[in-house]
A and B are shown apart, each in its own frame.
Chain A
Amino acid sequence: MRKENKSEITDKQYIYAVARIRSKELSLISKSDIEQLMSCKTEIECLRYLADKGWGKEGTHTSDQILASEREKTWELLKELVEDISVFNTFLYGNDYHNLKAAIKQIYKGTNNPNIYLSNSTIDPNIIIKAVTERDFSLLPEHMREVAEEAYQIQLHTGDSQLCDLVLDKAALDSIYSHGKASGNELISQYVELKVAAANINIAIRSVKTGKDEEFLQRSLAECESLNKSKLIQSALEGMEAIYEYLLTTDYSDALPALKESSQAFERWCDNRIVEYIRPQKYNPFTLSPLAAYLLARENEIKTVRILLSGKRNDISDDIIRERLREMYV
């Protein structure tokens, strides 16, 4: 047993993968690239600059196509680097639940739009569509079966899309959290902790603004270590100031200025904190963490470039665009 564990540890050093990632990190978007992009006058100029950096592929012309192709490239690389891609399932469960949501809605409305499904997922969207169409939820992975049926029944019998979304969003958070914590990887564990806590904070704040009751909060908030669910619910029922006061006693006290500013500012704070988490991985030559860090860094740069391109497209002033940009990994 001891021998097996040792060999497992050696196999999971990801030496080859991390060495390749080190080379790949050279082509990540840096602060100076962001400055270059900011100095471009139009979106077209930005796209030209990105094309020179190797972004996009044959046949990609619009910014959405280029960004989608970059995400594809990242996943193709990761699939090539690790024998078992399921180690990254934590990052894909969100897409699975998005696809499930889309399938339930499409089947309920009787529409058929294949473009709304996300391709990077742990289950083929066609299996999800088949499961919902035939009401055979056993086709889905265990963690989705029960909740898929529940959400489907809610949508079918009540037509309440919001409640259906709520059930699936909560299940997505629970799956992401449990898989991330079970991974045994510190970085992934930190990531899921922040992801679930940030989602809980957003839900609590929105519930104050829309006057939701305790039952709604009980059904929407996911359990996590860094936030006490019952205290957050209590605070949300008391009002915005109570939420701020409660958060002051948690790991998220630094987020208060951003939270008070806007939800976009809080989202930016969360993204920057993820970059803070992943930065030490630049110097780690072993384990899965540098690969997870690369994935998160790529997601961060795609998001940042999307914001920048959208700002240029809509003639938003540079100062406002800069306020929205994220910290970069390199």
Chain B
Amino acid sequence: MEILNDYGIVLALAGAVLAALIPGMASAKAVSMGGIAGAGVITEDPAQFGKVLILQLLPGTQGIYGLLIAFITLSQIGILGGEGDISFVKGALYFAACLPMIIVGYTSAVRQANASVASIGVVAKKPDQFGKAMIFPAMVETYAILALLISMLAVNGVSGLSI
């Protein structure tokens, strides 16, 4: 068990790294999908640039949320601040705390990209319906925010545990 405790920090760091990595990758892919669709619309109607840009950026937030969770975790585990002495169990708890953001961040970014691409199609045909079109991908954001919230509370909660 003593030996395992040396690896607590590894688990915690793995959680932080994956929180930055996975939603970041998904957001990059998602924003790229939006960009490709946006470029298609702009080719035909450059006046829609502002509207499609907003729709393109919507699925980019998961990467930012993941970065935030990674940053908070790193600042709790002694890498960017906080106590450096992390037991195996505590490290595992940090890892678990990052999981909502890792998993939901990935899935919601990809799905939000699909909704954004569809909404960019709406803007292409009916630019005056931009407000309504934006709501559809924005709804997917709800779940990324919920995951961010629970990961943030969990990381902060774990830091207060004496285990």
**Which residues of A are interface residues toward B (Cβ below 8 A)?**
13, 15-26, 285-286
Answer whether residue B2 sits at the interface, using C-beta atoms and an 8 A cutoff. Answer: no
Within 30-44 of B, Cβ neighbours of A (below 8 Å) are at 33, 36-41, 43-44
Check if A16 sits within 8 Å of B36, measured CB to CB: yes
Answer whether residue B117 sits at the interface, using C-beta atoms and an 8 A cutoff. Answer: yes
Check if B121 sits within 8 Å of A22, measured CB to CB: yes
A selection of 12 A-B contacts at a CB cut-off of 8 Å is A15-B33, A15-B37, A16-B36, A19-B41, A19-B120, A20-B40, A22-B121, A22-B124, A23-B40, A285-B120, A285-B121, A286-B114
A15-B33, A15-B36, A285-B114 known; A20-B121 Cβ under 8 A: no
**Which residues of B are interface residues toward A (Cβ below 8 A)?**
33, 36-41, 43-45, 114, 117-118, 120-121, 124-125
Q: How far is the CA of A305 from the CA of B121 in the complex (A)?
A: 27
Q: How far is the CA of A17 from the CA of B36 in the complex (A)?
A: 9
Smallest distance from the beta carbon of A263 to chain B beta carbons, Å?
36
Check if B125 sits within 8 Å of A16, measured CB to CB: no
Check if A18 sits within 8 Å of B40, measured CB to CB: yes
Q: How far is the CA of A298 from the CA of B36 in the complex (A)?
A: 24
Check if B45 sits within 8 Å of A19, measured CB to CB: no
* Chain A residues touching B, majority SS: helix
Can you list the 3 inter-chain pairs with the closest CB atoms, starting with the nearest?
A19-B40, A23-B44, A22-B124
Q: How far is the CA of A286 from the CA of B33 in the complex (A)?
A: 11
Beyond contacts A18-B40, A22-B124, A285-B120: 9 other A-B pairs, Cβ-Cβ < 8 A, are A19-B41, A20-B41, A20-B44, A22-B40, A22-B41, A23-B40, A23-B41, A285-B118, A285-B121
**What residues of A have a CB within 8 angstroms of the CB of B41 in the complex?**
19-20, 22-23
Smallest distance from the beta carbon of A239 to chain B beta carbons, Å?
50
Check if B39 sits within 8 Å of A19, measured CB to CB: yes
Who on chain B is nearest to A22 by CB?
B124
A23-B45, A285-B117, A286-B117 known; A17-B40 Cβ under 8 A: yes
Smallest distance from the beta carbon of A76 to chain B beta carbons, Å?
14
**What residues of B have a CB within 8 angstroms of the CB of A16 in the complex?**
36-37, 39-40
Smallest distance from the beta carbon of A127 to chain B beta carbons, Å?
33
Q: How far is the CA of A172 from the CA of B54 in the complex (A)?
A: 48
**What residues of A have a CB within 8 angstroms of the CB of B114 in the complex?**
285-286
Smallest distance from the beta carbon of B127 to chain A beta carbons, Å?
10
**What residues of B have a CB within 8 angstroms of the CB of A286 in the complex?**
114, 117
Q: How far is the CA of A23 from the CA of B123 in the complex (A)?
A: 9
Q: How far is the CA of A15 from the CA of B30 in the complex (A)?
A: 12
Smallest distance from the beta carbon of A17 to chain B beta carbons, Å?
7
Check if A19 sits within 8 Å of B125, measured CB to CB: no
Check if B38 sits within 8 Å of A19, measured CB to CB: yes
**What residues of B have a CB within 8 angstroms of the CB of A20 in the complex?**
40-41, 43-44
Q: How far is the CA of A22 from the CA of B55 in the complex (A)?
A: 16
Check if B40 sits within 8 Å of A25, measured CB to CB: no
Who on chain A is nearest to B33 by CB?
A15
A285-B118, A286-B117 known; A15-B125 Cβ under 8 A: no
Check if B125 sits within 8 Å of A18, measured CB to CB: no
Smallest distance from the beta carbon of B114 to chain A beta carbons, Å?
7
Q: How far is the CA of A22 from the CA of B33 in the complex (A)?
A: 16
Smallest distance from the beta carbon of B123 to chain A beta carbons, Å?
9
Q: How far is the CA of A286 from the CA of B36 in the complex (A)?
A: 12
Q: How far is the CA of A216 from the CA of B118 in the complex (A)?
A: 50
**What residues of A have a CB within 8 angstroms of the CB of B39 in the complex?**
16, 19
